[in-house]
Structure formats: C-alpha cells, structure tokens
Structure 1
Amino acid sequence: MRVFLKIVLAMILGFFLVFTVSMIFLMPKNNNHVKQINSSNISVVCLGDSLTFGVGDTTGQQGYTGRVIKLLKKTYPQYHFSSANFGKPGDRSDQILKRLNKSEKQQKLLKNADIVVMTAGGNDLRQELMSHFDVKSAAALSNEIKKNSLKYHHSLNQLFIRIKQIRQKSSLFVFGNYNPAFVNIASRTDLNKDVQLYNAVNQRIVEKQADGHYISVFRQLTYGQYQRPDQIKKLIQEDKTANATTENKFQKSLLDGSSSIKNNFISQADHFHPNNLGYSYMAKQLFNSILSDKSWQTK
C-alpha cells in the first residue's frame, strides 16, 4: 500500500513539474520594445487646418479625427487611445506654425504623442489661386502657382522643422489635398496640376522626416463618384464649351464656395470641404497607413 501511495505521489509531483515547465515556455516573453497592456496609452495629436477641424462633418466626429480613433479602438482593444484636435479653419502652413509656437498645450501634447497627423497646404494654394484668378490664361495662372510654390515649400519646411524639434517618439502622417471644383469645371485640368504641385511639396518634405508618411486622397476626393477614365473624359468634354476660360464667373464662385457642386464626397454646405463620406474615406486611408506602420506600438 505504501509503495502504491509513493507511486501516486510521484506521478502527481511529476505532473505538476511538467505543467510548470510547460507554462514557462508557453507564456509570451516580455518584450521591452513593445507596449505592455499596463502601459498602453496611445496619444494621437492632430494639427492643421479645417480638414483637421472637421468642417463639413455633420455627425460631430470632427471629420477624419473621430472616425480614425473609432477604427483604432475597434482594431486594438488592448490600447487606450486619446486624441487632441488642433485644427483651425482657414489656417495656412505659416499660421499653423504660429499657433504651435504660441501654445504650450500643443507643444506638450506633441512632445508626448505616439501618432501625429496633419493637414496643410489647402489654404496656401487657395489664397494663391484667388489672388491670381484674373490672369489671362490657365497657363499664366499655373506659372504663378508654380512660382509661388517655392514660398509654400519654405513655409511648410519651417513647420516641419519645428515639429521635429518638439516631437520625440511619434509616427507622423500628413495628408495631401484635392481639387473640390473638378467635377463641375472638369475642363480646367490645370487646377488639378496646381493641387498636385503642392501635394508633391507635402510628400517630399514629410517623407524626409523620421517615421514620416504621406497620405494621398487626391483621386477619390477630386473625382468623387466619377472614378473611371471614361467618366472623367466625359466630364471634361461636357465642360469645355461652357467653362474653358479663367474669366468664367462660375469657376471663381466654386473656389470661393458660393456655388453648388455635384461631387458626392464634397459638402453641399460650402462646396469645398469633404462631407461625411469624404471624411470617412480620409479616415480609412489614414487608418490603413497607421496599420502598415506599426512603429507607434514599439515606442
């Protein structure tokens, strides 16, 4: 009987020994380079103009900002996401910089951010277009825009230099811009080229930054529901007769937001900013870029 008890006791002890060793090997290793659940606060700071502020959004989600936070929370329930939105309607790149320099709150949150998102350039370009819209030809307008893009490059670069001085560990995501008037004045393809010129400045500068990512929304928000080449070609052909000169009052009214527009991704309220559908698209593109980066999880 005693021998039997010794055998049973040995089997029990052996079982617990094997179980303990197995648990040691099966438990996930502690990686100091990955955020642990106990320290899983992720700070998202959004800088920029009206696109960051969320003008045109009727759902109260602050445009792409609230939408991308929802997507992140759903995908990464192990993290706690907090966000700060410092977008201001009408701001050019130099004005975004001035506000940043004056705001200790912005600087503090930017310094500790894990993810930084920014929109810039739309108001810089809009100002240039409006100030030169009385030129005699589309080519002359584009020449003025190209000449003044050097000023924009300098202004945006100064903003990025300041952001670099402040931010320590964040991944940086910067949107490009779009042409909200294209669907209505498709014959003015020069305006698309002007937007793309400024977008190239955004992309060139942001991709030189550490963990910098450029996000293009040009095609979807410019062409709206008309994405096929034949649809775009038809829009251009239909518009050539009526709206092929820079003196056309309808074109100017689109740029200053006083005429209706038929792009399903653009707000009917001001005919310039994205609507709910447009902001959802922006949020999805940003979300995909954040997913592909993942370095924000390891800082």
Structure 2
Amino acid sequence: MQRLKTAIFIIIGIIFVGVLLYVLLPDRKLESVETTAFVKHEQEEKQEEPDANRTAVEVQKQIKVEEENDNSITHEVKAKVREVVEGALDLLIKDQRIVAIGDSLTEGVGDESENGGYVGILNNTFEDNNLNITVDNFGKKGNRSDQLLKRLEREDISAAIKEADIVLITIGANDIMKVLKSNFLNVTMEPFQEERVEYRKRLTAIFDKINNLNPDIQIYLIGFYNPFERHFGEIKELGMIIDNWNNDGKALTEEYENVSYIPTSDLFSQSTIDLLAEDEFHPNTTGYKRMAERILQYLKESDGDSDINKAEVAL
C-alpha cells in the first residue's frame, strides 16, 4: 500500500512539472515574437543605412530558424513529459502484490509438482507473461477459521496485507472436517448448521480485520468443493452441508463492496478426470491448475484493462 502511495506522489510530481513546462514554454514563443518586433523596429530605423552584410531577407531567415528551434524544443519537451508520465502510470498498473492466506488449499498440499498449488501456478503465470505481480503464500495445513483469525495478528502477515492490493482466502473446509470427525457415524444436519453460524461470525471478523489493516484492498473468498463425492456420493447430506457453507460464504461477501466470491465446487463435481491427490482430499496438480485458471478469470474481470488480462494459465 505504501508503494502505491509513493507511486501516486511520483506521478503527481511528474504531472506538476509537466504543467509548469506547458505554462512556461509558451514564453519562449513570446520571446521570439518580441525579438521579431525588435528586429523589425531596428530594420525600420536603419532603412536609410542598409547593412550590406545583413539584409532583411537574412534577418527573416534567422527569425524563422529561431521559431522552428523553439517549436522543436517545445515538442521534444512535451513528448518527453508524456513518455515519463505514461511510463510511471504503466509501472503503477503492473506493480501489484497479492497475499494468499488460509488452509492447505493455499499452502498447496497435494500438488505433485511441489510448486505450491494454485499460488505457485499463478506466480509462474505472472512470470511467464512478464508481469510485475508477486503472490505471497501464507497458507497453513489444517487451518480453521478461528486459527486464521488469530494468525492475522502475526506481524509478517499483517504487514504483507497492508502492502497488498489483493487477498485470496481459502478457509472453512477444516471447520467442516472438525464437525464431521465428531459426528461421522451419525451424520445429521443439525451440528453443521450450528457450527455454520459460528463460521459466518468468524469469517465476518476475518474480513473486518483485513479491511482495518488495508481499507483499499480487494478480497476474494475461494469456495470449497466436495472431496467426498467420489467415495461417499450416496451420503447426500455431505453435499448439502458443503453447498450450504459455500452459499453462506457467498452471501456474506455480497455485504462488502470490496469482497468477492470465487466458486470451485463445479470444477471438481462429476469430473471424468482425476483431480484429487493420493489422499483423496486435496487437489492434485491438475486440480490446482483448474483452480488457478478460475481465480485468474475473476482477477481479470475486476482488473479492467490491466496487463493481467494478457495472462493465461497453461493447462
């Protein structure tokens, strides 16, 4: 955030200098006009004593050359000012920082390439497209929403958020798992509904904390998928539980102007391609690539005409 403010001050300074140049440069033309009038006056006074070495034609040629030089200097300076301003604006657009926080999906657990999951794929994509965008990964395996809320107090994480333009969050899957482990032999909706209310409260606190650290940031909550669909598809309650929690997260994001929801459930549902790692819970490299492509799609939609629109994830 501080880098953004610094860049803005630099651009304001450049534009201010440019305005001064635009204001002051016309004075050079005024000098040329005054010089022309003075020369003409001198010519009129010396008409009776013509200078053989400096005819009126030569004087006019000199005046024309001076005016052309003045115009040339004016155009060169203006072009240079324009070039510097456009360069500064280009740097401002490209120089972005993204912070990824949350659970094992952010850490990249299950990625056989050990590249850091969707975060590593995004980093590689930005590098391949020569974009000055960095992604800091603060994902931690097993993190629940209550634990993430506490981690936001860490100096390194809070400092990164203060300087960031975008925050990507994966959180909630471990909250569901905690309830599931306690009720696996008798899966009913009631305990999940009760915990979902608490999850929404903690998620609200997470958004508020991030906004307090950086009011200008854009937050994306990444939804979770149903990893049990393949082996426990007959337990319909599991799918309903995940859908309800995702719907709650999406509804909460709509209460904030700077928070958006990115769905991923459809990327893994009824896929004919193996998208899960050996643990049958986390995405494999292909699954993370699908997530990265979806996330990049949403970043493009909110980033206007930035160069990020040129980036494409290689699938």
Q: Quick check: 1:49–1:89 contact (8 Å CA) kept in 2?
A: yes
With a CA cutoff of 8 Å and minimum separation of 6, indicate the structure with the bigger relative contact order. Answer: 1
Is 1:128 matched with 2:179?
yes
Q: Quick check: 2:267–2:291 contact (8 Å CA) kept in 1?
A: no
Shift of 1:72: 3.0
Equivalent in the alignment of 2:108: 54
Shift of 1:170: 1.8
Q: Quick check: 1:44–1:81 contact (8 Å CA) kept in 2?
A: yes
Change (3 A) 1:8 1:71: farther
Shift of 1:52: 0.4
RMSD of Structure 2 on Structure 1 (CA): 3.3
Change (3 A) 1:158 1:38: closer
Whichever of the two has the greater Rg, that structure is 2
Aligned pair partner of 1:198 in 245, 251, 276: 245
Runs ≥4 residues deviating over 4 A: 6-32
Q: Write the mapping of 1:265-276 to structure 2, written as runs, cut at 5 A.
A: 265-268=275-278, 270-276=279-285
- Report how many residues are paired: 250
Equivalent in the alignment of 1:178: 225
Distance in 1, matches of 2:83 and 2:174, equals: 49
Distance in 2, matches of 1:122 and 1:12, equals: 75
Distance in 1, matches of 2:211 and 2:86, equals: 28
Q: Quick check: 1:44–1:113 contact (8 Å CA) kept in 2?
A: yes
Q: Per-residue CA shift, 1:71-109, capped at 9, x if unaligned?
A: 23444x3x42222111110110000111222x1111111
Q: Quick check: 1:57–1:276 contact (8 Å CA) kept in 2?
A: yes
Shift of 1:40: 4.6
Q: Write the mapping of 1:97-108 to structure 2, written as runs, cut at 5 A.
A: 97-101=149-153, 103-108=154-159
Change (3 A) 1:73 1:19: farther
Per mean C-alpha deviation after superposition, the further-off stretch among 47-56 and 210-219 is: 210-219
Change (3 A) 1:288 1:132: same
Q: Per-residue CA shift, 1:255-299, capped at 9, x if unaligned?
A: xxxxxxxx611112x1100000010011111111111111796xx
Q: Quick check: 1:43–1:115 contact (8 Å CA) kept in 2?
A: yes
SS of residue matched to 2:147: helix
Is 1:209 matched with 2:266?
no
Change (3 A) 1:31 1:172: farther
Distance in 2, matches of 1:87 and 1:54, equals: 8
**Which one has a larger percent helix, Structure 1 or Structure 2?**
2
Distance in 2, matches of 1:179 and 1:8, equals: 83
SS of residue matched to 2:237: helix
Equivalent in the alignment of 2:145: 93
Q: What residue ranges of structure 1 are gaps of 5+ in the alignment?
A: 226-262
Instruction: State the identity as a percent.
Output: 25
Equivalent in the alignment of 2:167: 116
Equivalent in the alignment of 2:126: 72
Shift of 1:205: 2.0
Change (3 A) 1:114 1:10: same
Shift of 1:114: 1.0
Equivalent in the alignment of 2:274: 264
Q: Quick check: 1:113–1:169 contact (8 Å CA) kept in 2?
A: no
Aligned pair partner of 1:278 in 287, 299, 307: 287
Distance in 2, matches of 1:203 and 1:216, equals: 9
TM-score (norm 2): 0.69
Q: What residue ranges of structure 2 are gaps of 5+ in the alignment?
A: 1-54, 307-315
Equivalent in the alignment of 1:291: 300
Equivalent in the alignment of 2:99: 45
TM-score (norm 1): 0.72
Shift of 1:41: 2.9
Distance in 2, matches of 1:179 and 1:109, equals: 31
- The code of the aligned residue for 2:239 comes to N
